[in-house]
């Protein structure tokens, strides 16, 4: 069907509803065809603003009955933006009490579904609180509370409205939608709302029209794709997007919805004054719409008088707004952002079927969220809550890089919470996936430990102090916990996970590398991060010593040296009463560390790998199970990882015709250790230098 014929059909269908005074319903073929035409066109490319205005007047008037009105409202899918005139008509008809409760509920559901697409939200904000007078209509209450929570500004919070809601709550009981609107009021004026808002965040306003919202988004995506296909180059596309976001002289253009992240706009959507006048207005302490602020200098001159965007989710799109959020750390602003973010993430990840067409949009949201989290250097509590739910249904493939990066920014929780919601899902993923995903799991949990040590534990101690300064952009209820216990148990969990992984993957070199990265971090936990304990790794660490790569035993020697320094410094600080360390079992830790040091010395230097006579050794075998000659097999110059270096050392130091056997290096082990240092394997020489007094003396001589 050609475009001209299609346009004519849709116009005829709309005129049929507009001009007909009374429509027969039963057996009316023309009615069925008109509804089908409007429905098909709206699902494919959406309706224009003029068509929406015409149809909403018909539907809101209820002149053709409830069924037809509800079907027409379902078809009001905008092709680009939803006209504010249609909003005015809907609210006006509701105030006349002409439409039935069923039609009024459908109109409210429509306004919620297209809220992000409505142009000139300042008009909507001025009219929106007329709906408050319908708050006692129990059929409309959930939708009115949802809509008002989106529209509420500081000046909209009044004592009589709070009292009305509290009376309604007494009448209807503790309904989540009433609590949700009250929680929005409490953000602005805590002294007006006396009820206790649940500390655990939940969706106060669950979306009942997910398929409808999904269809609206699909139409927007198709229209946006059709527009970009006609652009001549990617430069023109970037210029268009940039003009949409930051054009000050011409105001924000009408934007077709590509993803759920809105573009910044305020109640003053169009500029009518010059920059100097805006700065003068700021000095006069008049509210300045955020969209009119050109740079951070203007923003910081008087941040109190900045009018926030009507869509707080625009923070993910604007670096300037992110700076403003981190600078002000205003509780109502961050809570509004958290509510929006929770609803968006739940809708994108949990409450809808993820198709390949959705991947770019969701990845874009997650990437912007990660960038914002990195910018403010903290995790966002609602993101953690959504992540907890998503990990239990995650297939391990969708959005894997983004999910692991969100895990690294998780906030500090008791280990039981962390284990149930993050570690257990990752453990199930770990044991049934490839070695490369295993490496990603270990790397993300190691980064989580680093984040805990450098950011979350200091922040927790600051929040727990008597002064209680605001140290977070996103404040959360501080749960009483022992942060050191959480970190220790997380280290223990990750240590066991490494053991299982190396066993399953037959000591894969890549997995061993990430295991050693984790072990190196733990070995410096007190020296670098001030964690007052020493956690020695389990016996899987010896697999690094048996590796055929020289970095394996070399890094193990380096790790052992780090553990030694860590333990010595911690013992000195405890002895001088500088710190208290109830988590440090000094006797057992020192004993286990000495065993590891003796094993490395006996194996690499003394040729006593299996004949040292210590039952608690890492390399203990029953007498008679290992030949005495096997002691040489793991010595420094005969170890499988160092044999290539032994041959190279002999070639450099011996005549070409008589290179000899690596056994000859036995008397020149000091020179061979220095040769390894020249080959950038420093850990062996440093370990020997710090362990053997005789070797230190020979170096000094």
Query: pLDDT tens digits, residue range 263-317?
Result: 665 444 444 444 455 444 444 455 677 777 778 787 777 777 777 776 778 888 8
Across 83-96, average pLDDT = 89
Q: What is the pLDDT of residue 275?
A: 44
Q: How many CB atoms lie within 10 A of CB 97?
A: 10
Treating both helix axes as pointing N-terminal to C-terminal, what angle do 693-700 and 669-678 enclose, rounded to 10 degrees?
Answer: 80
Separation of alpha carbons 518 and 446, rounded Å = 6
Q: CB neighbours of 50 closer than 8 A, spacing ≥ 6?
A: none
pLDDT band at 251 (very low <50, low <70, confident <90, very high): very low
Token pair recorded at residue 689: 């230098």
Residue 334 in this model has a pLDDT that exceeds 60: yes
Q: Environment class of residue 553 by beta-carbon count within 10 Å: exposed (0-12), middle (13-18) or buried (19+)?
A: buried
The pLDDT of 349-360, averaged and rounded, is 79
> Which tens digit of pLDDT belongs to each residue from 394-422?
988 889 999 999 999 999 999 999 999 99
Which DSSP string corresponds to 562-599? Answer: HHHHHHHHHHHHHHTTS---TT--HHHHHHHHHHHHHH
Tokens representing 516 are 């050693």
Distance, CA of 493 to CA of 500 (rounded, Å) = 11
- Can you list the pairs that 89-93 forms with residues at least 24 positions away whose Cβ atoms lie under 8 Å? 89/53, 89/56, 89/57, 89/60, 90/56, 90/60, 91/127, 91/128, 91/130, 91/131, 93/57, 93/60, 93/61
Q: Report residue 442's pLDDT band, with 50, 70 and 90 as the boundaries.
A: very high
Q: Tell me: the pLDDT tens digits for 361-372?
A: 889 999 999 999
The pLDDT of residue 262 is above 70:
no
CA 271 vs CA 123, 494, 664: distances in Å: 16, 56, 86
Residue 659 pLDDT greater than 80, yes or no: no
pLDDT at 435: 93
Decide: 113 and 212 in contact? Cβ < 8 Å.
Answer: yes
pLDDT at 479: 66
Residue 15: predicted pLDDT: 84
- Establish how many alpha carbons lie within 13 A of residue 604's alpha carbon, considering only the half-sphere containing its beta carbon: 27
Query: What is the Cα–Cα distance from 231 to 399, expressed in whole angstroms?
Result: 29
The pTM of this model reads: 0.73
Dist CA 111 CA 90 (whole Å): 9
Per-residue pLDDT at 201: 54
pLDDT for res 199? 57
Distance, in Å, from the CA atom of 671 to the CA atom of 507, rounded to the nearest integer, reads: 31
pLDDT higher for 695 or 479?
479
**Stretch 522-550: mean pLDDT, rounded?**
84
Per-residue CA distances from 186 to 39, 148, 157, 179, 375 (Å): 42, 14, 9, 10, 28
Q: Which two tokens stand for residue 695?
A: 């070797």
Q: Which residues contact 458 (CB under 8 A, 6 or more apart)?
A: none
**Which pLDDT value is given to residue 264?**
62
What per-residue confidence (pLDDT) applies to 3? 67
pLDDT at 281 (0 to 100): 46
Q: Taking 60 as the threshold, does the pLDDT of residue 200 lie above it?
A: no
How confident is the model over 197-223, as a mean pLDDT?
74
- Taking CA atoms, 416 is separated from 92, 481, 487, in Å, by 53, 11, 12
pLDDT for residue 392: 92
Q: What is the pLDDT of residue 273?
A: 41
- Report the range of poorest mean pLDDT among 72-76, 184-188, 466-470, 564-568: 466-470
Structural tokens at position 661:
């056997």
Q: What is the pLDDT of residue 650?
A: 86
User: Which residues are within 8 A (CB) of 643 and not within 5 positions of it... i.e. 6 or more apart?
Assistant: 662
pLDDT at 271 (0 to 100): 40
| d(C-alpha 399, C-alpha 518), whole Å | 24
DSSP one-letter string for 66-125: HHHHHHHHHT--BSS-B-HHHHHHHHHHHHHT-S-HHHHHHHHHHHHHTGGGBS-HHHHH
Confidence of residue 230 (pLDDT cuts 50, 70, 90): very low
Per-residue pLDDT averaged across 43-67, rounded?
Answer: 86
Query: Above pLDDT 70, what percent of the chain?
Result: 81
Spatial distance between the Cα atoms of 119 and 83, rounded to a whole number of angstroms: 6
pLDDT of 53 above 60: yes
Query: How is residue 643 annotated by DSSP?
Result: H
Per-residue pLDDT at 468: 53
Of 1-5, 537-541, 558-562, the range with the lowest mean pLDDT is 1-5
At 490, the pLDDT band (50, 70, 90 cuts) reads very high
The predicted pLDDT at position 9 comes to: 81
Percent of the chain with pLDDT over 90: 16
Higher pLDDT, 178 or 352: 178
User: What average pLDDT does the chain have?
Assistant: 79
Predicted confidence at residue 236, as pLDDT, reads: 47
User: Angle 210-229/29-44 helices, nearest 10 degrees?
Assistant: 60
Work out the pLDDT band at 470, boundaries 50, 70, 90.
low
Least confident piece of the model among 86-90, 225-229, 459-463: 225-229
pLDDT, residue 609, reads 65
- Answer whether residue 183 shows pLDDT above 80: yes
Q: How far is CA 328 from the centre of its chain?
A: 21
What's the pLDDT at 270? 42
Q: Residue 652 pLDDT more than 50?
A: yes
Q: Is 164 exposed, middle or buried (0-12, 13-18, 19+ CB in 10 A)?
A: middle
Give residue 255's pLDDT band: very low, low, confident or very high (50, 70, 90): very low
| 661 class by beta-carbon count within 10 Å (0-12 exposed, 13-18 middle, 19+ buried) | exposed
Residue 193: its pLDDT value, please? 83
Quick check: 441 pLDDT over 90?
Answer: yes
Q: Which of 65-79, 152-166, 461-475 has the weakest average pLDDT? A: 461-475
Q: What is the pLDDT at residue 626?
A: 60
- Distance, in Å, from the CA atom of 255 to the CA atom of 224, rounded to the nearest integer, reads 9
Q: Which among 514, 388, 352, 386 is positioned nearest to 447, based on CA atoms?
A: 514
Of 74 and 300, the structure prediction assigns the larger pLDDT to 74
> Which run of H or of E encompasses 289?
strand 288-289
Per-residue burial over 491-503, b = 16 or more CB atoms within 10 Å of its CB, e = otherwise? bebbbebbbebbe
């Amino acid at each position: 069907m050609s475009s001209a014929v299609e346009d004519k059909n849709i116009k005829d269908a709309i005129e049929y509803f507009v001009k007909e005074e009374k429509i027969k319903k039963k057996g009316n073929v023309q009615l069925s065809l008109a509804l089908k035409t409007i429905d098909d066109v709206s699902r494919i490319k959406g309706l224009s603003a003029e068509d929406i205005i015409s149809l909403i007047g018909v539907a809101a008037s209820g002149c053709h009955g409830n069924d037809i009105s509800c079907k027409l409202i379902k078809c009001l899918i905008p092709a680009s933006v939803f006209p504010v005139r249609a909003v005015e008509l809907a609210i006006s008809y509701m105030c006349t009490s002409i439409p039935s409760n069923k039609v009024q509920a459908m109109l409210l559901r429509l306004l919620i579904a297209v809220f992000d697409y409505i142009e000139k939200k300042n008009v909507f904000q001025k009219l929106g609180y007329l709906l408050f007078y319908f708050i006692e209509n129990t059929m409309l209450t959930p939708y009115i509370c949802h809509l008002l929570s989106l529209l509420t500004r500081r000046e909209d919070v009044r004592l009589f409205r709070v009292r009305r809601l509290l009376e309604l709550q007494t009448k209807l009981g503790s309904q989540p939608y009433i609590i949700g609107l009250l929680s929005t009021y409490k953000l602005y004026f805590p002294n007006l709302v006396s009820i206790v808002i649940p500390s655990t965040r939940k969706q106060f306003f669950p979306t009942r029209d997910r398929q409808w919202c999904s269809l609206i988004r699909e139409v927007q995506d198709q229209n946006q794709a059709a527009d970009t296909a006609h652009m001549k180059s990617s430069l023109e596309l970037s210029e268009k997007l940039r003009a949409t976001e930051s054009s000050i002289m011409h105001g924000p253009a009408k934007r077709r919805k590509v993803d759920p992240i809105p573009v910044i706009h305020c109640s003053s959507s169009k500029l009518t004054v010059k920059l100097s006048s805006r700065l003068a207005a700021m000095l006069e302490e008049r509210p300045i719409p955020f969209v009119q602020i050109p740079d951070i200098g203007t923003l910081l001159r008087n941040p109190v008088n900045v009018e926030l965007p009507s869509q707080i989710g625009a923070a993910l799109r604007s670096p300037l707004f992110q700076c403003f959020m981190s600078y002000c750390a205003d509780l109502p602003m961050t809570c509004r952002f958290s509510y929006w973010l929770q609803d968006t993430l739940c809708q994108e990840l949990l409450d809808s079927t993820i198709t390949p067409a959705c991947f770019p949009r969701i990845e874009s949201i997650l990437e912007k969220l990660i960038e914002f989290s990195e910018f403010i250097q903290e995790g966002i509590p609602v993101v953690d809550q959504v992540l907890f739910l998503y990990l239990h249904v995650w297939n391990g493939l969708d959005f894997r890089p983004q999910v692991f990066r969100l895990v690294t920014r998780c906030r500090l929780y008791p280990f039981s919470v962390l284990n149930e919601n993050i570690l257990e899902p990752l453990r199930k993923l770990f044991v049934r996936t490839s070695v490369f995903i295993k490496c990603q799991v270990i790397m993300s949990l190691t980064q989580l430990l680093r984040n805990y040590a450098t950011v979350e534990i200091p922040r927790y101690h600051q929040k727990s102090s008597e002064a209680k300064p605001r140290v977070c952009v996103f404040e959360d209820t501080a749960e009483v916990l022992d942060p050191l216990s959480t970190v220790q148990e997380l280290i223990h969990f990750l240590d066991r996970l490494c053991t299982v992984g190396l066993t399953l993957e037959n000591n894969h070199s890549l997995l061993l590398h990430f295991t050693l990265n984790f072990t190196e971090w733990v070995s410096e936990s007190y020296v670098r991060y001030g964690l007052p304990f020493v956690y020695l790794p389990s016996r899987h660490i010896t697999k690094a010593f048996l590796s055929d790569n020289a970095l394996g035993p070399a890094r193990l020697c380096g790790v052992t040296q780090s553990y030694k320094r860590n333990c010595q410094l911690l013992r000195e600080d405890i002895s001088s009463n500088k710190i208290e360390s109830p988590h440090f079992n000094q006797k057992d830790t020192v004993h286990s560390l000495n065993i590891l040091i003796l094993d490395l010395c006996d194996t690499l230097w003394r040729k006593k790998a299996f004949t040292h006579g210590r039952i608690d050794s890492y390399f203990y075998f029953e007498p008679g199970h290992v030949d005495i000659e096997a002691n040489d097999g793991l010595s420094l110059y005969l170890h499988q990882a160092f044999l290539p270096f032994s041959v190279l050392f002999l070639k450099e130091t011996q005549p070409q015709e008589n290179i000899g056997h690596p056994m000859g290096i036995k008397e020149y082990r000091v020179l061979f250790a220095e040769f390894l240092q020249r080959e950038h394997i420093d850990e062996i020489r440093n370990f020997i230098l710090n362990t053997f007094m005789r070797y230190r003396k020979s170096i000094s001589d």
